[in-house]
Amino acid sequence: MTTLLGRRRIIPAAVDVDTKSLTESNVHNNNHHHQVAGKNSHHQHRLARQRSFRKDIGHVATETYLITRLTFTLLQYLGIGYRWITRFLALACYAMLLMPGFLQVAFCYFFSSKVKRSIVYGDQPRNRLDLYLPTDIHKPMPVMIFVTGGAWIIGYKAWGSLLGLQLAERDIIVACIDYRNFPQGTISDMVNDTSQGISFVINNIANYGGDPNRIYLMGQSAGAHISSCALLDQAFKESGKGDNVSWSISQIKAYFGLSGGYNLLDLVDHFDSRGLYRSIFLSIMEGEHSLKNFSPEIRIQDPRIKDSIPLFPPIILFHGTDDYSIPTVASERFASALREAGARAELILCDGKSHTDLFIQDPLRGGKDDLFDYAVALIHSDDKEALAKDDIAPPRRRLVPEILLKFARRISPF
């Protein structure tokens, strides 16, 4: 059961031809023609499959090279630090424990015809996005834009593949936006990339079967921070006179923030104690003087965006009560600041959930998932046909044994 506390919820852990006129020669020639045509068609189809397979393999190699290169660049920048090394080793063990599920998701990501990878939305190296399409697009479908987390350093669009695949099964198109990470870019680059990606989806998703009037936005962890900054930036643009904008915050039906941090001033020391050293964090955020500018909790109180507040979509913040990477109070205070500014905000606390439970372990576990069910129900709230299909939809498949999930939770560096 879900307990309602005002606008706060706590989710407990739980053409006909006369053949007689043909001569034998004509029959023979026609049969021969069809046989040749059939062989040619089969040959062309086989070549197409081979080209597609080679393309997929090439894409895997390109993506692997990108991740590896960025990892070594990051290692050179970070240097050696005890806390960082221990968390890196914990991350490696965490990934190994969940590998049975990750491999299944990766296979679908690289080889499913319903996943459109690396669609270009801008002119920067990582201005790419992935689209996850439902099997049957018989009418314009709702769209979820997802911005992945990764401590502003290891974020990558493929991290949203599990969410994308599972929502696509419920007839929701998912667009996972990639953006420049540090040290390839700093926070303003990340926010600009994300805003440009949102604009691309809003203005082009109809070409892929999406409904431009039913677009939702979700961010997780650092992605929640970046996407909320993009919303605030857009609000400032729309509050200015004569500013040209390519999208509007009013075009977002609802915003979901998962385990995000929204006041950087409160998080600098906390992150430092967990291995994201203060010097690195301030470099990502372009210096200590910029922390307020990239803190949505503070910026929402700026009187200059007062006229844009009514344009804001409903904002739903999810946070686990056992989240040690970003404390629960981060979402609590942001929700309060939003309400004080006049925005519609709801806080949903998930009892006993860690930073990665909501986004990784629970989806890999399969079955019922309060966050997933809540999001799907909200997105389909004005579509009776979709709601009826949701009622009879089979439970999500388990991808990882429970014992591995429990070990992974214990060793998780997040």
**Active site residue ranges:** 221, 323, 355
Separation between Cα atoms, residue 101 and residue 86, nearest integer Å: 24
Query: Strand pairing partners for 317?
Result: 257, 347
Beta pairing class for 173-177 and 210-220: unpaired
The two tokens of residue 203 are 């203005």
Which residues have C-beta within 8 Å of that of residue 151, sequence separation ≥ 6?
221, 222, 276
Instruction: For CA atoms 168, 107, 163, 407, give the dihedral sign.
Output: positive
Separation between Cα atoms, residue 171 and residue 327, nearest integer Å: 33
366 CB burial (10 A radius; 0-12, 13-18, 19+): middle
Which residues have C-beta within 8 Å of that of residue 67, sequence separation ≥ 6?
156
How far, in whole angstroms, is CA 237 from its chain's centroid? 25
Which residues have C-beta within 8 Å of that of residue 299, sequence separation ≥ 6?
229, 232, 292, 293, 305
For 153, list phi and psi in degrees, rounded to 5: -125, -40
Measured torsion, CA atoms of residues 343, 152, 180, 357, in degrees rounded to the nearest 10: -80
Task: Say if residues 31 and 23 touch (Cβ distance below 8 Å).
Answer: no
Residue 231 region by backbone torsions, left for phi larger than 0, else alpha for psi between -120 and 50, else beta: alpha
Q: Write out the H or E segment, with its range, that includes residue 391.
A: helix 384-392
Q: Which of 231, 198, 228 is nearest to 212 (CA)?
A: 198
Separation between Cα atoms, residue 98 and residue 401, nearest integer Å: 9
Residues found in the chain: 414
